[in-house]
Amino acid sequence: MKEFSHQITQSIRNFEKAIKETGGDIYFSGGDNILAFVKDEYLNNIIQLVKEVNTHSNYSFSVGLGSTLRDVYLALKYSKSIFPGTVVKAVADKGKVTFELVDPSEVRSL
């Protein structure tokens, strides 16, 4: 169990490092959660890193994307509820929020 915890902690540190190296900001990091701002031009790099960890580990990280904190939170909750390790974008329009599954290989600018 200690090794498992160490692996998750190391993955989180790698995500944080990648976010910071691309000029992003970490607003919160604790446990297996990170709340961060990532510039559009680097979003694909970060998602690819998450996808790589998800592919080569016995654990996975889900990703929620959105233009507001509320949208990010809802997207992350939805992502975790449908299938571990998915990337979901929340799109708000006139008070209604819809969710889009994001293929990490097709992320451009959200």
Query: What pLDDT, in 10s, does the model give residues 40-99?
Result: 899 999 999 999 999 999 899 999 999 999 999 999 999 999 988 999 999 999 989 999
User: 22-52: buried (b, 16+ CB within 10 Å) or exposed (e) per residue?
Assistant: eebeeeeeeeeebebebeeeebbebbebbbe
Query: What pLDDT, in 10s, does the model give residues 10-50?
Result: 999 999 999 999 999 999 998 888 999 999 899 999 999 99
- In whole angstroms, what is the distance from residue 93 CA to residue 96 CA? 5
Identify whether the C-beta of residue 22 lies closer than 8 Å to the C-beta of residue 43: no
Rounded CA Rg of the chain = 14
- In whole angstroms, what is the distance from residue 87 CA to residue 54 CA? 11
With 0.85 as the threshold, say if the pTM is over it: no
